[in-house]
Amino acid sequence: MYKYRKMSLQYLIDHSGISGELKAIAGKIMVGERLNPKEGLTLYHSNNLSYLGILATYRKRQASGDKVYFNRNFHIEPTNICLYNCKFCSYRRNPGEAGVWDYSMDEMLDIARSYTDKGITEVHIVGGVHPQHDLHFFGELVREIKKILPQTHIKGFTAVELDYMIRKSGYTLDEGLQKLKDYGLDSIPGGGAEIFNEKIREQICGQKLSSQLWLDVHEAAHRLGIPSNATILYGHIETYEHRIDHLNRLRNLQDSTKGFNAFIPLKYKNANNSMHSIGEVSTLEVLKNFAVTRLFLDNVPHIKSYWPMLGKQTAQLALAFGADDVDGTIDDTTKIYSMAGSEELSPNMDTNDMVNMIQSAGFTPIERDSCYNELKVF
């Protein structure tokens, strides 16, 4: 089967009538050579979406065959009170404002208790940067959840949250991350990366940590044996050059640490925030971005199609453009994208829904744990 795919790609290269640049890129992909940033930009500027999809699927099959992964998870979002006020954010509220929440420790632990004996393998904890909570508050949360769900992987706290809680507690990055690991934190998500270009970052989220500090947090986590994910927020005021720069910085860090499990491209959603006049990119642009991401990030094992943000149909389409993961069952426990106008206002799928979505796209569903160990093949 692999020989057939390889011959098919060679046939495409020889007979598609594409430009010399795209043909040369396809040749590099076929033999497993790394693309440089200029070639990444060439892919972004191409309008041949079907060709990009074929190349990305070829690279995806090299990485994970016909498999597409999912897990059984739920989110705890402690608060949407936040020290920062990013222009793209539809989630943040001030204390006392309509739509605000600020869960107590007991309320969050009650959420965890509601998932006992439900086969959940991951708790995902992210929220606003609460000005009053330090590392020990969240460390205690992690430790108590572990008592309730002892076999469950806890993936928690964006680099933005970690930066603040660690500084507030008076620790260095390494000290703070080690403390959280001792409390029971297993991995960290990829949020807060937004876009690494400093000028764009200053315009859309200038209050929060710098791009270099985001990378430093993840590098320190990897150094301590804490794996993580990575993201990009695209489709706002950035250019293709900014996207490639972002991907290149991630690729360079992954070369050094090999600590990223997955990359999640996050489309900017324009409802209920101060950048709403920009509009949103099309589904075609979303699919192109998946394809380029898979082709350029050759050292990140998995590309995630995050269905609560994309909607189920687009998330499924992304599987034909390099994605090999669709995140998890969620159980309507995240509001970050529904508040920004996501198609999925109450994100919830059970295992059968996930399996059907993956199989109907022509792939083999794999239930995984948070580190991509395979739990069940469907």
Mean pLDDT of 18-28: 87
Give residue-wise pLDDT tens across range 178-218: 999 999 999 999 999 999 999 999 999 999 999 999 999 99
Is the pLDDT confidence value at 30 over 80? yes
pLDDT bracket for residue 29 (50, 70, 90): very high
Name the strands in the sheet holding 302-303, side by side, starting at the edge strand that comes first in the sequence.
228-234, 260-267, 302-303
Work out whether strand 228-234 and strand 260-267 pair parallel, antiparallel, or are unpaired: parallel
Task: Give the DSSP per-residue string, 202-231.
Answer: HHHHTTS--HHHHHHHHHHHHHTT--EEEE
Helices 240-257, 37-45: crossing angle, 10 deg rounding: 140
Task: Quick: pLDDT tens for 125-144.
Answer: 999 999 999 999 999 999 99
Residue-wise pLDDT tens digits, 340-361: 455 545 667 889 999 999 999 9
Average pLDDT over residues 100-122: 96
pLDDT value of residue 272? 82
- Cα–Cα distances in Å, from 135 out to 24, 126, 147, 166, 227? 50, 13, 18, 6, 19
Phi first, then psi, for residue 334 (nearest 5°) are -125, 140
Q: How confident is the model at residue 336 (pLDDT cuts 50, 70, 90)?
A: low
Q: Regarding predicted confidence, which is higher, 109 or 348?
A: 109
Flag whether pLDDT at 237 surpasses 70: yes
pLDDT given for residue 340 in this prediction: 47
Which DSSP state fits 239? -
As a whole-number percent, the residues of the chain with pLDDT over 90 amount to 81
Task: Report CA 323 to chain centroid distance, whole Å.
Answer: 11
Lowest average pLDDT, out of 7-16, 28-37, 47-56, 135-144, goes to 7-16
The domain limits of the chain are 2-64, 67-377
120, pLDDT greater than 60: yes
Residue 17 banded pLDDT, cuts 50, 70, 90 = low
What is the C-alpha separation between 208 and 210, in angstroms, rounded? Answer: 7
Task: Summarize pLDDT for 64-84 with one digit per residue, the tens.
Answer: 999 999 999 999 999 999 999
pLDDT at 233 (0 to 100) = 97
Percentage, residues of the chain above pLDDT 70: 91
The average pLDDT across 96-112 equals 95
Structural class in CATH, domain 67-377: alpha beta
Q: What is the pLDDT of residue 4?
A: 38
Burial label for 170, CB within 10 Å (0-12, 13-18, 19+), is exposed
Rounded Cα distance between 126 and 229, Å, is 13
Whether the pLDDT of residue 63 is over 60: the answer is yes
**Strand order of the sheet with strand 325-328?**
325-328, 67-71, 364-368, 374-377
d(CA 177, CA 3): 45
Tell me the C-alpha distance between 345 and 125, whole Å.
Answer: 19
pLDDT single digits (tens) 293-312: 999 999 999 999 999 889 99
How large is the average pLDDT for residues 30-39? 95
Lowest mean pLDDT among 15-19, 42-46, 199-203, 243-247: 15-19
The partner residues of 74 in beta bridges, in order of sequence, read: 123
CA distance 129 to 157: 10
